[in-house]
Amino acid sequence: DAGVIQSPRHEVTEMGQEVTLRCKPISGHDYLFWYRQTMMRGLELLIYFNNNVPIDDSGMPEDRFSAKMPNASFSNLKIQPSEPRDSAVYFCASSTSGGRENYNEQFFGPGTRLTVL
Amino acid sequence: KQEVTQIPAALSVPEGENLVLNCSFTDSAIYNLQWFRQDPGKGLTSLLLIQSSQREQTSGRLNASLDKSSGRSTLYIAASQPGDSATYLCAAVDSNYQLIWGAGTKLIIKP
């Protein structure tokens, strides 16, 4: 398996523009997580899905942030309009709820480094 | 509310030494605990996962222990190598299956 795939790897945009980050989880994983990492706040959970359904979005900072998972192999995170303080590395992770071994172990994608000017 | 702390924030040791990284958590009601490695500008790589019913897990030169009663986990690295230089993060999985992260320990192994 190729692991969790994220695109783009780097995104530079201007304030006010819409940003879309994409994630393809590991095949067969039924949990998908979106995280944000900054120097000041470390890793923060934004939202997670189970079987394509959003379970907890309490970490989404503002209404400017939205995430969808239209099917088991794709999720996107949108920021509209973007602001400089949204600059961070955004990680997607997936996990499986089944099996006795490595239960709930999360596997991370390489991240998208977002810079909002 | 679960809080996870890692001390020290940074550690520098000569190559070949054995070392221990510490992780503490405030609420013992964790589902499991996971150790990750993050290289500069890169993603997170899962190193070891310890279920709440387990005391330790081993992978190669790495050994992670878990003591729920004291709210502590340690990551032991044997015979350290320059390639072990990275930031090591621990995360406790709470009853909602959410990872509660420590701030990490930045490890530098000097050749």
Cβ within 8 Å, pair B98-A56: yes
* Residues of chain B with C-beta less than 8 angstroms from the C-beta of A56: 96, 98
8 Å CB contact of B101 and A106: no
Q: Which tokens go with B22?
A: 């510490």
Our CA-based measurement puts residue B13 at a distance from the nearest CA of chain A, in whole angstroms, of: 24
Q: State which residue of chain A sits closest to B91, comparing Cα positions.
A: A43
Phi-psi region of B49 (alpha: psi -120 to 50; beta: other; left: phi over 0): beta
pLDDT at residue A96 tops 90: no
Q: Kindly report, residue by residue over B9-63, the tens digit of the pLDDT.
A: 999 999 999 999 999 999 888 888 999 999 988 889 999 999 888 899 999 999 9
User: What's the distance, CA A99 to chain centroid?
Assistant: 24
Residue A9: phi and psi, rounded to 5, are -80, -35
Q: How far is Cα B61 from Cα A23, in angstroms, rounded to an integer?
A: 32
Q: In a 10 Å sphere around its CB, with 0-12 CB exposed, 13-18 middle and 19+ buried, how is residue B48 labelled?
A: buried
* Cα A59 from Cα A70, distance rounded (Å): 20
Q: How high is the pLDDT of residue A98?
A: 57
Cβ contact A105–B97 (<8 Å):
no
Whether B42 and A111 lie within 8 Å, measured CB to CB: yes
For residues B38, A82, A46, A102, the Cα torsion angle rounded to the nearest 10 degrees is -40
Give strand ranges (E) for chain B. Answer: 4-7, 10-14, 19-25, 32-38, 44-51, 56-59, 62-67, 72-77, 86-93, 99-101, 105-110
What average pLDDT does this structure show over A22-42?
93
Q: Report the percentage of chain A scoring pLDDT > 70.
A: 93
Residues near B28 by Cβ (< 8 Å), separated by ≥ 6? B68, B69, B71
Condensed to tens digits (0 to 9), the pLDDT of residues A61-89 reads: 889 999 999 999 999 999 999 999 999 99
Which DSSP string corresponds to B56-73?
A: EEEETTEEEEEETTTTEE
* Confidence at residue A112, expressed as pLDDT on a 0 to 100 scale: 97
The pLDDT confidence band at residue A100, using thresholds 50, 70 and 90, is very low
Residue A19's pLDDT band, with cuts at 50, 70 and 90, is very high
- The distance in angstroms from the start CA to the end CA of chain A is 36
Confidence (pLDDT) at B24: 97
Check pLDDT > 50 for residue B71: yes
Of A91, A93, A102, the CB nearest to B49: A102
When the pLDDT of each residue in chain B is averaged and rounded to a whole number, the result is 93
Answer whether A78's CB lies under 8 Å from B13's CB.
Answer: no
> Is the Cβ of A34 closer than 8 Å to some Cβ of chain B?
no
Task: Give the minimum alpha-carbon distance from B56 to chain A in angstroms, rounded to a whole number.
Answer: 14
Closest by Cβ to A108, choosing from B31, B43, B104 = B43
Which of B44, B59, B100 is the best substitution to test chain A (most A C-beta atoms within 10 A)?
Answer: B44
A102 touches chain B (CB under 8 A): yes
